[in-house]
């Protein structure tokens, strides 16, 4: 174990199995509960009902979190769910961070899936433990299990007044067979679920003892800095490292070769400088004399590409959703409107850039410490790079200093593993800020063309939308435009009650690595759709909020497949989770109420509103902005209403919505990645801006709609409504429409 990593217990897979006595996976339960006794001698030993819970003989419960903590509070939420169903005493619960291992099921902390997809799985882990402990107590006492109850770390028999602590029952429970099915607690009996509980990592974050990937240090470790081709797909021609090797502290210079096509999650290749310290590695890298063949993407220019995208959406594409007769409705309309919207490439730019440490052991196995969102994918990619089996790779998951989708791609982890193998020593790879912004997996650039019409009564009669953007699929294979999963993120899942609707997908080739960023395609789809709805409201002479409520229409469940859409929203079944327009209207009405919609505002101020559903979560945001006579924009305040179904920790949901407000503002006001001659222009926060403290609104107000529905996504759904709410507010303040992002490029005066 690495003593330099404090605040998190890192356990290898072999050590974990050895200490728990497991042969084929699973966790232990054993404990002692003070103050409870029995006349009968109880067997000791460990109890292993599933892979998430350990009840130790000391009475402490160790709960394994199989997801990655990057500030969203998942390590706390996982503990809340399991401990609640187990009826464990919160003060006796301790956290273990899982390594990458298939026995835990899906470990990819992405797509807002940790609670929405695994709530019942986590509840089951705790409920099985509680159920078996109850059966054990009933067997010891010779009474029906129905007369016993597991509560507050013990099993109680009310009729006789007897109690046994969970630890005292562990050995007996270990002799029982696992139940096929258990009953969950009723929501009214929850002790932790739904309660605003402090995060288990909060103190470590506060005092600076929390250990992130970038903090990892191993004995004898070398530090690597890698020079990569500035253009994706370029190859190394030659390198002169004479000056580099003369720098004190430099140990070696290693060529990583060239990247793969398609890139997938493999390293980009390049030349690595290994040194005894970070400074020497970076200075050595600067001294390299490298010649590159920039390859086919050397002509990529983001300004010229914008023209290509906008041309693409002004021509017919592939129809992906169709109902009614859009052309007839447009030709017979009282009024029509058309608009083209543009949103640029974006970078995730987490505060902690990608970082990983790898060590090759004497037996050829590899051990890694990394800030990864997806340790199982990292395990597979590292194994492939080294030519060994995944079981020979251990991925220790550290805390993540932000991620937003970037750290689900383990290219940086494979770099560390390859260099450790070549160097024969542990190697730490830390990307610089410039590396992260110039060589990442970028959020896609998008152009969208919309046409709409209204009748004499101001009712929308037609909606025609075309969307074009390079697909994430291009990272994995040939692709010339949007993928089905991406179209299901804010485009074909259109909730509006419009009789005539047609949506088309248009071609767009990729010239950089494309990856997911917080809320993925919902970001640009919500920007266009919510902005255009506001434009239609103005065309109809209607209040924007009232018009939007009418546009959403009557309470119903919407399935885009009914209009011919092939829907694949990154793994959630639209038939099982149709769009609930009542919930959508509910958050819209609440956000408007919070903002005191319709109130009189000072000159130069405006209110805007937008609503969007993504990852099953319903979120509406209202924004008040002010625009000075010189065009200076200030977001004065934000109001967000969220319906996330069953909420595990309302404090974490509120924090996610507040963070989404800042993240969404950063994207809307400053976010822009551009390319010239194939290379990314931006390199640090001076050129890839995020919101500064002086730009933050005076308040981000959040209201959580109470709900007993299944848990919905939380981490991502708060982002999409932010940009259109701000842009709609700008129109209310100035009469000027914003159809491109970022706002820093738009003259408002």
Q: Considering only CA atoms, which of 622, 523, 641 is closest in space to residue 583? A: 641
Task: Give yes or no: residues 269 and 309 share one domain.
Answer: no
Residue 14 pLDDT > 80: no
SS (H, E, C) 567-631: CCECCECCCCCCEEHHHHHHHHHHHHHHCCCCCCCCCCEEEEEEEEEECCEEEEEEEEEEECCCC
Tokens 């609930």 belong to 580
Q: Report the C-alpha gap between 102 and 25 in whole angstroms.
A: 10
Mean pLDDT of 205-220: 96
* Mean pLDDT value across the chain: 93
User: Based on the number of CB atoms within 10 Å of its own CB, is 628 exposed (0-12), middle (13-18) or buried (19 or more)?
Assistant: exposed
Query: How many other CB atoms sit within 10 Å of the CB of residue 125?
Result: 23
Q: Report the C-alpha gap between 397 and 68 in whole angstroms.
A: 7
Contact in structure between 74 and 114 (CB atoms under 8 Å): yes
pLDDT at 575: 75
Q: Report the C-alpha gap between 486 and 490 in whole angstroms.
A: 8
Confidence band (pLDDT; 50, 70, 90) for 59?
confident
Confidence band (pLDDT; 50, 70, 90) for 459?
very high
Confidence band (pLDDT; 50, 70, 90) for 48?
low
Q: Report the C-alpha gap between 301 and 107 in whole angstroms.
A: 37
Task: Give yes or no: residues 48 and 86 share one domain.
Answer: yes
SS (H, E, C) 78-95: HHHHHHHHHCCCHHHEEE
Task: Give yes or no: residues 231 and 370 share one domain.
Answer: yes
Peptide bond before 262: cis, by omega within 30 degrees of 0? yes
pLDDT at 37: 45
pLDDT at 568: 58
Residue 516 pLDDT > 70: yes
Per-residue pLDDT reduced to its tens digit, 641-685:
999 999 999 999 999 999 999 999 999 999 999 999 999 999 999
pLDDT at 582: 98
Residue 15 pLDDT > 70: no
Confidence band (pLDDT; 50, 70, 90) for 60?
confident
Mean pLDDT of 22-35: 33
Residue 725 pLDDT > 50: yes
Contact in structure between 307 and 249 (CB atoms under 8 Å): no
* Structural domain boundaries enclosing 237: 213-296+354-430
Q: Considering only CA atoms, which of 451, 449, 475, 473 is closest in space to residue 462? A: 451
Task: Give yes or no: residues 193 and 322 share one domain.
Answer: no
- 241 located within any domain: yes
- 436 located within any domain: no
- 207 located within any domain: no
Confidence band (pLDDT; 50, 70, 90) for 34?
very low
pLDDT at 576: 83
- 624 located within any domain: yes
Q: CA torsion, points 245, 258, 358, 96, in degrees to nearest 10? A: 150
Q: Report the C-alpha gap between 225 and 601 in whole angstroms.
A: 53
pLDDT at 45: 66
Per-residue pLDDT reduced to its tens digit, 112-139:
999 999 999 999 999 999 999 999 999 9
Task: Give yes or no: residues 450 and 464 share one domain.
Answer: yes
- Name the strand (E) or helix (H) holding 307: helix 302-313
User: Based on the number of CB atoms within 10 Å of its own CB, is 488 exposed (0-12), middle (13-18) or buried (19 or more)?
Assistant: buried
- 208 located within any domain: no
- 686 located within any domain: yes
Last residue of a domain, one of 198, 221, 245: 198
Contact in structure between 143 and 163 (CB atoms under 8 Å): no
Residue 11 pLDDT > 50: no
- 3 located within any domain: no
Per-residue pLDDT reduced to its tens digit, 305-341:
999 999 999 999 999 999 999 999 999 999 999 999 9
Per-residue pLDDT reduced to its tens digit, 377-424:
999 999 999 999 999 999 999 999 999 999 999 999 999 999 999 999
Query: How many other CB atoms sit within 10 Å of the CB of residue 332?
Result: 12
Residue 20 pLDDT > 80: no
Per-residue pLDDT reduced to its tens digit, 68-84:
999 999 999 999 999 99
- The SS3 of residue 638 is strand
Task: Give yes or no: residues 398 and 343 share one domain.
Answer: no
pLDDT at 567: 62
Per-residue pLDDT reduced to its tens digit, 165-204:
999 998 898 889 999 999 999 999 999 999 999 999 999 9
Sequential DSSP letters for 410-438: THHHHHHHHHHHHHTS-EEEE--HHHHHH
Residue 609 sits in a domain of what CATH number? 3.30.365.10
Task: Give yes or no: residues 639 and 515 share one domain.
Answer: yes
Per-residue pLDDT reduced to its tens digit, 361-380:
999 999 999 999 999 999 99
- 8 located within any domain: no
Tokens of 6: 């404090």
Task: Give yes or no: residues 111 and 243 share one domain.
Answer: no
C-alpha 354, offset from chain centre: 16
Tokens of 434: 């410039």
- Residues, the chain: 749
Backbone angles phi, psi at 577, to 5 degrees: -130, 70
pLDDT at 22: 36
Q: Considering only CA atoms, which of 587, 598, 727, 570 is closest in space to residue 645? A: 587
Last residue of a domain, one of 430, 458, 483: 430
Per-residue pLDDT reduced to its tens digit, 684-718:
999 999 999 999 999 999 999 999 999 999 999 99
Count how many domains the chain has.
3
Rounded percentage of the chain residues whose pLDDT exceeds 70: 93
Confidence band (pLDDT; 50, 70, 90) for 234?
very high
Per-residue pLDDT reduced to its tens digit, 601-641:
999 999 999 999 999 999 999 999 999 999 999 999 999 99
Task: Give yes or no: residues 324 and 362 share one domain.
Answer: no
Task: Give yes or no: residues 463 and 579 share one domain.
Answer: yes
Task: Give yes or no: residues 398 and 482 share one domain.
Answer: no
Confidence band (pLDDT; 50, 70, 90) for 229?
very high
Contact in structure between 642 and 702 (CB atoms under 8 Å): yes
Task: Give yes or no: residues 659 and 690 share one domain.
Answer: yes
Last residue of a domain, one of 430, 463, 492: 430
């Amino acid at each position: 174990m690495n003593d330099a990593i404090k605040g998190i217990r890192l356990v290898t897979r072999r050590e974990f199995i050895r200490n728990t006595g497991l042969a084929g996976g699973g966790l232990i339960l054993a404990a002692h509960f003070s103050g409870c006794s029995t006349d009968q001698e109880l067997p000791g030993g460990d109890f292993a009902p599933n892979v998430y819970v350990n009840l130790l003989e000391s009475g402490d419960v160790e709960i394994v979190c199989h997801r990655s903590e990057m500030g969203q509070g998942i390590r706390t939420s996982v503990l809340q769910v399991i401990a609640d169903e187990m009826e464990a005493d919160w003060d006796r619960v301790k956290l273990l961070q899982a390594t990458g291992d298939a026995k835990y099921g899906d470990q990819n902390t992405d797509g807002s899936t940790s609670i929405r997809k695994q709530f019942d799985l986590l509840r089951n882990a705790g409920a099985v433990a509680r159920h078996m402990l109850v059966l054990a107590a009933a067997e010891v006492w010779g009474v029906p299990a129905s007369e016993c109850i597991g509560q507050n770390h013990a099993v109680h028999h009310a009729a006789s007044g007897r109690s046994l602590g969970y630890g005292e029952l562990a050995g007996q429970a270990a002799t029982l067979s696992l139940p096929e099915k258990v009953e969950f607690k009723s929501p009214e009996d929850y002790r932790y679920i739904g309660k605003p509980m402090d995060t288990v990592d909060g103190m470590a974050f506060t005092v600076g003892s929390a250990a992130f990937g970038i903090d990892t240090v191993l004995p004898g470790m070398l530090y690597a800095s890698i020079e990569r081709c500035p253009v994706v797909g370029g190859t190394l021609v030659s390198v002169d490292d004479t000056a580099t090797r003369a720098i004190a502290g430099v140990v070696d210079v290693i060529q990583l070769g060239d990247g793969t096509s398609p890139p997938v999650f493999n390293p980009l290749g390049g030349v690595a400088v290994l040194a005894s310290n970070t400074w020497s590695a970076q200075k050595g890298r600067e001294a390299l004399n490298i010649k590159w063949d920039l390859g086919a993407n050397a002509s990529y220019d983001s300004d010229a590409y914008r023209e290509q995208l906008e041309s693409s959406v002004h021509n017919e594409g592939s129809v992906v959703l169709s109902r009614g007769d859009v052309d007839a409705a447009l030709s017979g309309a009282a009024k029509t409107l058309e608009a083209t919207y543009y949103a640029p490439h974006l970078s995730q730019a987490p505060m902690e850039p990608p970082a990983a440490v790898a060590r090759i052991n004497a037996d050829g196995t590899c051990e890694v410490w990394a800030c990864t969102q997806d340790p199982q994918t990292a395990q597979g990619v590292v194994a492939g790079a080294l030519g060994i089996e995944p079981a020979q790779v251990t991925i220790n998951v550290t805390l993540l200093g932000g991620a937003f989708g970037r750290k689900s791609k383990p290219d940086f982890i494979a770099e560390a593993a390859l260099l450790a193998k070549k160097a024969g020593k542990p190697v730490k790879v830390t990307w610089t800020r410039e590396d992260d912004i110039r060589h990442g997996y970028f959020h896609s650039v998008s152009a969208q063309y919309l046409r709409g019409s209204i009748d004499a009564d101001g009712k929308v009669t037609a909606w025609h939308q075309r969307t074009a953007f390079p697909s994430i699929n291009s990272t994995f294979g040939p692709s010339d435009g949007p993928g089905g999963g991406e179209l299901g993120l804010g485009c074909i899942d259109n909730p509006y009650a419009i009789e005539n609707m047609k949506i088309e997908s248009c071609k767009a080739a990729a010239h950089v690595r494309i990856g997911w960023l917080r809320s993925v395609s919902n970001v640009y789809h919500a920007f266009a759709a919510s902005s255009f709805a506001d434009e239609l409201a103005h065309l109809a002479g209607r209040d924007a909020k009232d018009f939007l409520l009418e546009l959403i229409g009557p309470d119903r469940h919407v399935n885009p497949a009914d209009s011919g859409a092939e829907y694949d929203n990154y793994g959630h079944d639209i038939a099982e989770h149709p769009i609930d327009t009542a919930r959508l209207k509910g958050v819209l009405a609440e956000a408007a109420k919070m903002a005191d919609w319709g109130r009189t505002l000072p000159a130069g101020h405006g209110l805007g509103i937008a609503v969007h559903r993504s990852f099953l979560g319903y979120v509406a945001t209202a924004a008040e902005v002010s625009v000075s006579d010189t065009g200076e924009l200030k977001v004065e305040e934000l109001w967000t209403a969220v319906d996330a179904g069953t909420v595990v920790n309302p404090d974490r949901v509120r924090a996610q919505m507040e963070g989404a407000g800042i993240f969404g503002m950063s994207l809307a006001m400053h976010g822009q990645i551009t390319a010239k001659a194939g290379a990314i222009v931006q390199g640090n926060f001076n050129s890839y801006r995020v919101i500064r403290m002086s730009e933050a609104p005076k308040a981000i107000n959040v209201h959580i709609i109470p709900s007993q529905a299944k848990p919905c996504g939380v981490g991502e759904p708060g982002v999409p409504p932010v940009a259109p709410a701000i842009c709609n507010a700008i129109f209310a303040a100035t009469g000027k429409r914003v159809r491109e992002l970022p706002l820093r490029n738009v003259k408002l005066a």
